[in-house]
Amino acid sequence: MAQITPLIAGNWKMNGTTVQLGEVERLAELVTEGDGPRCTVVICPPATMLERLNTITASAGIVTGGQDCHPAAHGPHTGDISAQMLSDCGAQYVIVGHSERRLGHGETDHLVQQKALAAFASGLVPIICVGESEDERESGSAEKVVLGQLAEALPDNWGPFGFIVAYEPVWAIGTGKTPTMHDIEDMHATIRKYLVEHYGENGEGTRILYGGSMKPYNARDILRLKNVNGGLVGGASLLANDFYNIISAV
């Protein structure tokens, strides 16, 4: 199995204005004190804050990403952000297919794939989200649902910069609920098997993040699990101390 450097990504969602920069400054201080983090640290703020965050985080080795991108590079798409625009602001990653985009905006797996390809074209690494609803989990179809999403949403080829898969059980996002450690490990093993079957050696080295209510109190146990190569963190990433505690759990 390839050696994988873990990645902890913070998804701020629709949160963050100038006042939030104080938390970023504090996080940068924490990260640079003592030994550096044993993982790649990414913050995905609203696009309005990308350039300001990069100014603060660059010296601490923290990088940034977008929360979404349009599949087109430019054009008459009022209110949308292209991958090229994110890259121009200094982003290195972009989240695509988050369940909140799928549910709130009706995004399909095919659209998610197109967004991932747009990320490739602009030099960004897409973080491609998959995950089942509570009903799908309870009916025993969680694995089938996730495999279906992987088949439709992932690019046919690994891409020039690779991609990241984030498993986010929809029912665990922002609820404080988490699957059992056994359930998490089983789903990550299923995703890994799919990646290896379809991408070979590249699939062995692809990061698989866990993204359902990862908090300081459970991060260490989750990150110990096989095939969990980091986390996609929501609310806890808005607070420097909480986010740093998760980073330190690697």
Catalytic residues: 98, 168
In the chain, which ranges are E strands? Answer: 7-11, 40-44, 63-66, 93-96, 125-130, 164-167, 208-210, 230-233
The residue count of the chain comes to: 250
145 is written with which tokens? Answer: 């649902």
Is residue 30 classed as helix, strand or coil in its secondary structure?
Answer: helix
Distance (Å, rounded) from C-alpha 74 to C-alpha 113?
18
Distance (Å, rounded) from C-alpha 60 to C-alpha 39?
13
DSSP letter, residue 178: -
118 close to 81: Cβ distance less than 8 angstroms: no
